[in-house]
Amino acid sequence: MPVPRPNEGTRWRCTMCGNLTRFDVTRSSRVVEYVHLDLAGESRVEEREVLSETIESVRCRWCNAVDQVELVDRPGAQV
């Protein structure tokens, strides 16, 4: 079952305990990064382009329920 992705007008809510704020999200992504290495060899990502991203699972930090999230409206969001 795919995990729904929140957008500008929605957010996640755990259907088991009602949590709205704390989740562990496991995702796979394919990215292109522009990495700048200084002369000492320290690296810093200066640009990042996400080519694709998939949410594999969402675990509630309050009750440990896995993939038990629903989308609800954000406060003040235009419906």
Whether residue 48 is contained in a domain is answered as yes
Residue 4 lies in a domain: no
Average the pLDDT over 10-35 and give the result: 96
The type of residue at 69 is V
Q: How far apart are CA 5 and CA 53, in angstroms?
A: 11
∠ CA 66-68-70, nearest 5°, is: 145
Residue 5 placed within a domain:
no
Would residue 78 count as lying in a domain?
A: no
pTM of the model: 0.74
Confidence check: pLDDT of 79 > 70:
no
Q: Is the pLDDT of residue 1 over 70?
A: no
State the residue for tokens 């795919």: 2
Number of domains in the chain: 1
Tell me the residue range of the domain where 53 lies.
Answer: 10-73
- Structural domain includes residue 79: no
Quick one: average pLDDT of 43-48?
96
At residue 28, does pLDDT exceed 70? yes
Tell me, yes or no, whether 1 lies in a domain: no
CA distance 57 to 5: 11
Per the domain annotation, does 36 fall within a domain? Answer: yes
Residue 15 lies in a domain: yes
Res 76 pLDDT > 80: yes
